[in-house]
Chain A
Amino acid sequence: MRLSPKQSTLLVLAVLMIASPFFFPSNYYYRVGSLVFVNSIAVVGIVILTGYAGQISLGHAGFLGIGGYACALLPAHFGLPPALAVVAGAALSGAIAYVVGRPILKLKGYYLAVATLGFGVLVSMVLANEGWLTGGPDGIKVPDPGLRALLEQVGIELTNPQFWYAFCGLVLFIGAWLALNLRESPTGRALRALHGSEVAARTAGIDVAKAKLNAFVISAVYASVAGSLLALQNRLITPDVAGFMHSIELVTMAVLGGAGSVLGGIFGAALLTLLPQVLTVLQDYEHVVLGLVMMLVMIFLPAGLIPSARRLLRGRGE
């Protein structure tokens, strides 16, 4: 039986997630793994916004910040359980994306890039400057969601890094599944259509403004959940997560891996999360090599890692 692209992507993902720990020399690698997953979740959101719909955002880390701080502030001020704060943060991010997206998604290309960039900067400034609420540049503590303790009660004992590896992996898997569902659905097809030709999409009856807003809100929710998971596992959140550099990183991950592909986005996230860890042995030259790798990938695999690899494989098969 032939697998559909959706099934094969999910299969590859599941196998990698389950098999990788067998090669982990120490507990520390679970921590790195869960970091890959968290970044991947945000990047899958970018894949929907940029890869499917062709809209750029240089401010999506702002939504990571909102999701992250929701897990610190909502439990502290409203007594919300941290796990529910993830959901509340996602709803808040979605609502903010809706309000912000309506005016700025009318913009195109670099105008949109600058407007979203402004949004990201705004969020990180508020988080850094409103110290009375957010703890300022040093960040703020995040409570334990107590999920691991819950698992212990039913007899599943995991170390903290193991738990977060499994949990973030599960959330990523669900996130990838949703994004893949969307891709082949009427809504997702509308996004990819307007990416190809806005005027033809409109002529086919697609409400382009609404479709873009859908993509923006959905991708904001992905980013928010990623931010929440990061905050919960670090037990701390600082304004850096919402920073400009983080937004750029997310877009870079998506483009490097292949912006239109969910698996590509995840590989891009893995590459850019792992490479710096590997390259630390090069010390001063770490960033030089990282930059070089990025440039070489884009020059020789302009469609990104996964789509280029697929094309190569297909070329051989014929």
Chain B
Amino acid sequence: MSLLQVEGLGISFGGVTAVNDVSFGLETGKIVSVIGPNGAGKTTLFNMISGVYLPKSGRVRLDGEDVTGLRPDLLAVRGMSRTFQNLQIFHEMSVLENVIVGFHMHERGPVLADLFGLPGSRRRARAAAEGARVLLERVGLERAAEREAGALSYGALKRLEIARALAARPRVLLLDEPAAGCNAVETEEIDRLICEVAKTGVAILLVEHDMKLVMRLSDTIVVLDHGEKIAEGDPALVSRDPKVIEAYLGAGTTEALHAHG
């Protein structure tokens, strides 16, 4: 039994099917990538797995437990964390505070203790701040800690979201296009970071258009097209699959796909 098990997941919006009957599994410490042309349904799939959308059909199991349609905060408690393709940043907060929010499950306590600023409340907040600084260092943003998050570049915000997601100490981490908008150096850093995180035993589900990154990192690739899974397997296998090549021909990314070889 996989740590994360997706079984026949499907959803439609106003009669249009966005994702249909998608199944796959994800093991501890492994990296599974979901690829496919724009509009294939990758983000929608993420939203169903992470409880943002309620799937019309299918199941999501986390460590054997049926967690289909469970609220995102309850999924977070069970060890699922994610980042967002269209950045969900707390703009009014400092960079450091954005990451501290990621520690919420570990720093929360009684409301009254927080109101009265009791020592316990301050200790929890301090511990979270220390942890957040370590994570900022890990994603290379330690020097921006006190800046307002809204002032950061797109690539920096992508890494900030990863730091915030890691703060929750997830068992399963969903990354939606973490390298989008990043330059070559930043992409390199994200590559290294994802590898490191996987090595610590976190199961990673990755959506990414940067095929070089995907081919290098993935243990398994799941290919979506028009909401359907058209292929699944290791990078070498998938990049030779005629159905995959055909799906990508329209999108003009064939060269990228073969960059692996």
Contacts and interface: CB of A to CB of B under 8 A. Distances in A.
A199 B88 contact: yes
A124 B97 CA distance: 41
A203 B111 contact: no
A205 B73 contact: yes
A197 B89 contact: yes
Nearest to A198: B88
Contacts of B52: 199
A187 B114 contact: yes
A218 interface: yes
B115 A178 contact: yes
Contacts of A204: 73, 76, 81, 101-102, 104-105, 164, 167-168
B131 to A, nearest CB: 13
Interface in A114-140: none
B186 to A, nearest CB: 21
A181 B115 contact: yes
B21 interface: no
A195 B91 CA distance: 10
Contacts of A195: 90, 92
A207 to B, nearest CB: 5
Contacts, number: 108
Interface stretch (B30-38, B121-129, B216-224, B226-234): B121-129
A205 B102 CA distance: 8
A89 interface: no
Contacts of B50: 203
A219 to B, nearest CB: 12
A182 B91 contact: no
Given A189-B104, A196-B91, A199-B52, A205 B168 contact: yes
Nearest to A185: B114
B180 interface: no
Interface residues of A, number: 29
A260 B91 CA distance: 13
A305 B35 CA distance: 49
Contacts of B72: 199, 202-203
Contacts of B124: 186
B249 interface: no
Interface string B97-120: 100111011011101001111000
B114 A181 contact: yes
Contact of A192 (B84, B92, B111, B115): B92
Contacts of B128: 186
Nearest to A179: B115
A42 B115 CA distance: 16
A26 to B, nearest CB: 37
Interface string A185-219: 11111101101110111111111100000100010
Nearest to B71: A202
In the complex, the 9 A-B pairs of residues with the closest C-beta atoms, listed nearest first:
A196-B90, A185-B114, A205-B76, A200-B88, A181-B117, A205-B105, A202-B72, A187-B114, A197-B88
Interface of A: 177-178, 181-182, 184-190, 192-193, 195-197, 199-208, 214, 218, 260
11 contacts: A178-B115, A185-B125, A190-B104, A193-B93, A196-B93, A200-B88, A203-B73, A203-B81, A204-B102, A204-B104, A204-B168
Interface of B: 50-52, 71-73, 76-77, 81-82, 84, 88-93, 97, 100-102, 104-105, 107-109, 111, 114-117, 121-122, 124-125, 128, 164-165, 167-168
